[in-house]
Structure 1
Amino acid sequence: MIFYPFILAICCISLFLTACGDAELSTRQSVRPAAPVEVAAIERGLIRELRVFSGALEASASFPVSPKVSGLIEQIYVDIGDTVEQGAVVARLDNAEYKQALAKSQADLLVAQANLMEAESHLKIAQRAMERARVLRDRGVASEAEFDIAQSDLLAAQARLEVLRAQIQGAESAVQSARIQLGYTEVRAMWSGDASTRAVAERYADEGETLNALSPLLRIVDVDPLTGVFFVSEKDYPQLSVGQQVDLETDAYPGEIFTASIQRIAPVFQVSSRQARIEITVPNAELRLKPGMFVRAKVVVREVEQAQIVPDVALVTRSDSKGIFVVGQDGETARWRPVQTGVREGDRIQVIAEDLAGPVIVLGQQLVEDGSPISLVSSDLTE
């Protein structure tokens, strides 16, 4: 029995020490250290949503220059890269055969004209003979048969005259056709539109070769303005409209922006790619851009003025809710603010919420909860 008080004393001491330890642990847990965070300012201003599409430049007009008649190429006056004026002679074919054809048609016309003069003379003779036959018949000197013969000769002379007049028209037409054929041996660059000059893009034949009629000799293009072509998906299609501004970039001129505008939007999507063709007009007065260049087209599809903007790294998700942590008014605690997101531009994003104030935490959010103490390690507020 003398051991019971001793054991009871030991139990009491043990319970006292355990209670003290629990109290100390509870105190340590209630005093959390301040989490180190980095912050940034909440911007207010304009934000734009961009779409970037890959495409290529094409000539706004392109057509082959071909001779309208066949022949041997005697001379070509232009080559790739040369500027061509409207109506200029770009090549010449051997025209000896066509000159000979013109000379023959002119000779045929002279023969037809001579035959016409002879027919006119015969007609006058037939008319006089007819008149004499009428007078002699009326006097009873000539028979009715002789009068009929004179009348028949007159009608034949008139018919021959009409035939020869038609032959004259045919001969004149043949001469005109021969002149046109001879003119076609001078191959000219002709096009419609307001452009007074265009450029030679390709050359398909050389001097000394024989070309058939309508075989391509050169390809002429219009490079001011150019046409840019890119394709868009169903998601981006509703956000584009004719006249919308487009900023172009190309590897040929790093860092330089070329301004263009949407000219045409295809009303259908291609079955194979499920994309629609977009054409843009690209001014090119200095001729620096060339057909075939690869381009990146940037289009502003949405913009919001006076938006609340934060770095996209500030967004976090807690309990399936998107939001940001801002620095409380005391400057020492983090406050959770649920937000909705809007337009994104690069690494900046629009956030929609009422009464957003204070800097936003951009680094260290995983260490804090609503009301957690924080310490500012660094920020861009003082930069």
Structure 2
Amino acid sequence: MKKRFAIVIGLLIAGLISLRIYQKVTRRMGGTSARQGQGGAVAVIVQPVRQDTIRDVRVFTGTVFPKTQFLVAPKVAGRLEKLLANIGAEVRNGDLIASLDNQEYKQQVEQARAELDVAKANVNDSQSSLEIAARELERARELRKQQVASVAEMDRVEALYKAAQAKHEIALAQIKQQEAVLKATEIRLSYTQIRAAWENGNGPRLVGERFVDEGAMLPANEPIVSIIDIDTVIAAIFVIERDYPHIEVGQSAEITTDAFPLKTFAGKIVRKAPLLKEASRQARVEIEVANPERLLVPGMFVRAEVRFAARDNAIVVPASAVVRRNEQRGVFLADTTTMKARFVPVTLGIVNADRAEIVNPPLEGPVVTMGQHLLEDGSAIIIPPSEPGADRLASPKPAGDRREGGSQP
């Protein structure tokens, strides 16, 4: 008894499930029939084929960098006594940025000058000794001519003269040496005055960063501040392998940033990396952008629009009109006389987010832009009255006159 009851319950559940499935299928078929309209026709939206200018524009993202940037650092070690430039300060070529405690370097200069004075005194002394030796040599030669001085005496006097001459030459060389030492100490003293210096232009630049404070003990070459030039900036973007062949030095670019959403900055591609990074498969491209108002600052996120190609008087259709059928790209042309859709394979040119260029064949008439996924070549169509060509739509026939496909009521 229990087995029969379980079987009956199971059959009832199976029947209910089957009924539910049947109702869903019926509703779906009814919805499809409603979408297709009377006589199996598909309701579509069409738009006309136009002749217009179309551009292939790609948008890349990147970062702003200063055109030039360098670090100001002392060439000698010392305590930072004064720092005269702060972040954001405008500096010109040759401006004093900072100064180090120079007492030790002044003392070195004084010592070098004293040693130079000693060297000059040595020259005077050696000059006197050389003159005395020269007179002795001349006297010895006269005595030798008179056969009064011996050969040994003559050799001794000549040796003394040569020694005095060598000593004088050494003294002269020591003067040059001490002059060089003095010049070196003076140069080191001048290095305690730290200035901003650069080539290529004398326009003002800005202090970008400050790394130390007054009173800090600095080794040589320790950065104090960074100097940047942002009257012209570089927008660095990265392009993928597919776009790399289309990028050329000299191409124009339009730069936008979220900081100034209504403003566009004109730029030009000035450098293109000759390689792609293996890790990212991207190449660095640099765009030079004039920035006289200094609105763009290093570190900003920017978008760069680069025009790859442009075509005037091109045959243009909405990009949504292009479909694929049997591994072919094409569009459905709407014949408003027969109210049928004809699939036409096409060759595409420039394609952007909204529009597509038709290179071949020439197209005339409206193309289907919505509902084409339900169409096949020769499918009947219905164009809503608000769409182009709807005025040619014949009045719908009463139900039961003729149906192509669809479900019987």
Match of 1:80 among 65, 80, 87: 87
Q: Secondary structure at the match of 1:298?
A: strand
Give CA-to-partner distance per residue, 1:45-86, whole Å, 9 cap, x none: 211122222211112222211111111111111111112211
Whether 1:158 and 2:165 are equivalent positions in the alignment is yes
Using the TM superposition, give the Cα deviation of residue 144 of structure 1 relative to its aligned residue in structure 2, in angstroms: 3.3
Give CA-to-partner distance per residue, 1:127-172, whole Å, 9 cap, x none: 1122122222322433333333322221111111000001000011
- Give 2:156's aligned amino acid: I
Q: Secondary structure at the match of 2:39?
A: coil
Partner in structure 2 of residue 12 of structure 1: none
Distance 1:375 1:218, change over 3 A: closer
Distance 1:366 1:228, change over 3 A: closer
Whether 1:374 and 2:382 are equivalent positions in the alignment is yes
- Give 1:170's aligned amino acid: Q
Partner in structure 1 of residue 66 of structure 2: 59
Q: Which moved more, 1:232-241 or 1:136-145?
A: 136-145
Using the TM superposition, give the Cα deviation of residue 313 of structure 1 relative to its aligned residue in structure 2, in angstroms: 2.5
Give the Cα–Cα distance (whole angstroms) in 2 for the partners of residues 32 and 352 of structure 1: 35
Using the TM superposition, give the Cα deviation of residue 187 of structure 1 relative to its aligned residue in structure 2, in angstroms: 0.7
Match of 2:227 among 215, 220, 223: 220
Q: Structure 1-normalised TM-score? A: 0.84
Using the TM superposition, give the Cα deviation of residue 207 of structure 1 relative to its aligned residue in structure 2, in angstroms: 0.7
- Give 2:352's aligned amino acid: E
Give the Cα–Cα distance (whole angstroms) in 1 for the partners of residues 327 and 283 of structure 2: 37
Distance 1:166 1:36, change over 3 A: same
Whether 1:177 and 2:184 are equivalent positions in the alignment is yes
Q: Structure 2-normalised TM-score? A: 0.79
In structure 1, stretches of 5+ residues that fail to align are 1-30
Match of 1:129 among 117, 136, 158: 136
Partner in structure 1 of residue 370 of structure 2: 363
Whether the 8 Å contact between 1:55 and 1:295 is mirrored in structure 2 is yes
Partner in structure 2 of residue 104 of structure 1: 111
Number of equivalent positions: 351
Give CA-to-partner distance per residue, 1:268-324, whole Å, 9 cap, x none: 221211222212212212211111111112212232222111222233445554433
Whether 1:333 and 2:361 are equivalent positions in the alignment is no
Whether 1:281 and 2:288 are equivalent positions in the alignment is yes
Give the Cα–Cα distance (whole angstroms) in 2 for the partners of residues 205 and 375 of structure 1: 74
* RMSD of equivalent CA atoms: 2.4
Give the Cα–Cα distance (whole angstroms) in 1 for the partners of residues 271 and 114 of structure 2: 57
Partner in structure 2 of residue 205 of structure 1: 212
Whether the 8 Å contact between 1:263 and 1:279 is mirrored in structure 2 is yes
Give the Cα–Cα distance (whole angstroms) in 2 for the partners of residues 70 and 293 of structure 1: 36
Give the Cα–Cα distance (whole angstroms) in 1 for the partners of residues 55 and 195 of structure 2: 50
Match of 1:292 among 296, 299, 309: 299
- Give 2:302's aligned amino acid: V
Distance 1:62 1:90, change over 3 A: same
Partner in structure 1 of residue 242 of structure 2: 235
Using the TM superposition, give the Cα deviation of residue 33 of structure 1 relative to its aligned residue in structure 2, in angstroms: 8.0
Distance 1:175 1:366, change over 3 A: closer
- Give 2:121's aligned amino acid: A
Distance 1:353 1:335, change over 3 A: farther
